[in-house]
Amino acid sequence: MKASHLLIKSGNVYHPLNSARINAIRVLMNLENIKIDSLDLGWVKGMGVFGSWAAGTNTYESDFDSWVLVEAYPSEFELAQLQKDLRLMTGAEVNMIVLTRGKLEDLKATDPPFYNSLVRRSLVLKGESLEKY
């Protein structure tokens, strides 16, 4: 593959083209930044990322959208620590949805478009996926 399929030159500066290949490369680079095994996640049943970071369309200004699947709601300390760790890994503001079985069923009933988007377009980073829970 030629570099011309990935980059466009503007003056003396190269910029990535807006393409599926670039998005796929960004997804791989995004996942490389998240060292999930280094986190203390004993209380987490599953964890994933959605939005621009999962699609590879994120920019320097994008926030990091994630979901955490739990049996019972964790302590504020555990959530704050996870958000801090993810912010340090990604360099982005972290938005996190904490989902119990009940909250997931409620989301499915009250906001099917968002639920379906979350299930279909998120990447599982650890543990169970949303549709198997």
So where are the chain's domains?
35-127
Print burial letters for 70-81: b (CB count within 10 Å at least 16), e (below 16). beeebeeebbee
pLDDT number for residue 4: 58
Please, what is the end-to-end C-alpha distance for the chain in angstroms? Answer: 40
Q: Are 104 and 122 in contact (CB under 8 A)?
A: no
**Cα distance between residue 33 and residue 26, in whole Å:** 11
pLDDT at residue 9, as a whole number = 82
**Which residues, in sequence order, are CB contacts of 35 under 8 Å at separation 6+?**
89
Q: Are residues 70 and 43 in contact, defined by beta-carbon separation less than 8 angstroms?
A: yes
| Residue 102 DSSP label | H
CA distance 70 to 130: 11
pLDDT tens for the chain, 133 residues long, are: 455 577 778 888 877 777 788 889 989 999 999 999 899 889 999 999 999 999 999 988 999 999 999 999 999 999 999 999 999 999 999 999 999 999 999 999 999 999 999 999 999 999 988 887 7
- Pick 35-127's CATH classification: 3.40.50.2300, 3.40.50.300, 3.90.226.10, 3.30.460.10: 3.30.460.10
Q: Please give the pLDDT value at position 131.
A: 85
| pLDDT for 2 | 52
Sheet holding 64-69, edge to edge: 94-99, 64-69, 46-50, 123-127
Residue 78's pLDDT is 95
- Per DSSP (E only), the strands in the chain are 7-10, 13-16, 46-50, 64-69, 94-99, 123-127
